[in-house]
């Protein structure tokens, strides 16, 4: 006896089409608002109190944010500490601009992962 085919579920499509923001933006915002992220990134900065980028220039600047070396949108595992850097806000801002370009490039190449 054949199993009955599952009926099409048009409401799934409707839901996907009516999402409020591009998926990756929404996921990013959701991620950075999770309690786990807030807690783990704070601990990470306690272990890495100095901005990594400034440190390579011989400057000692307190770290203020935890950054994903491979951007959140492109990395395999956002919880991998090896992909994290403690940065000051200034370095994070310039990194974010570079990330944007990188993400755009990847989209143009049809890739969404590294």
Write out the residues near Zn ion by the rule CB under 5 A: 51, 53-54, 61, 88, 91
Quick one: tokens of 79?
């919880």
State the minimum distance, in angstroms, from the CB of residue 87 to Zn ion.
5
Nearer to Zn ion, 17 or 56 (CB): 56
Q: What DSSP designation does 83 have?
A: G
Nearer to Zn ion, 24 or 64 (CB): 64
72: nearest Cα among 21, 114, 20: 114
State the minimum distance, in angstroms, from the CB of residue 62 to Zn ion.
9
State the minimum distance, in angstroms, from the CB of residue 59 to Zn ion.
7
Can you tell me whether residue 75 is helix, strand or coil?
coil
Nearer to Zn ion, 45 or 51 (CB): 51
Quick one: tokens of 28?
């990013």
Quick one: tokens of 23?
């998926």
């Amino acid at each position: 006896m054949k199993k009955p085919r599952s009926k099409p579920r048009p409401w799934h499509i409707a839901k996907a089409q009516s999402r409020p923001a591009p998926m990756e933006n929404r996921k990013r915002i959701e991620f950075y608002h999770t309690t786990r992220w807030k807690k783990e990134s704070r601990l990470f900065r306690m272990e890495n109190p100095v901005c990594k980028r400034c440190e390579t220039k011989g400057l000692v600047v307190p770290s203020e944010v935890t950054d994903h070396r491979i951007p959140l949108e492109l990395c395999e595992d956002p919880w991998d500490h090896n992909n994290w850097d403690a940065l000051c806000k200034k370095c994070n801002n310039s990194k974010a601009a570079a990330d944007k370009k990188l993400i755009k490039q990847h989209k143009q190449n049809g890739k969404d992962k590294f």
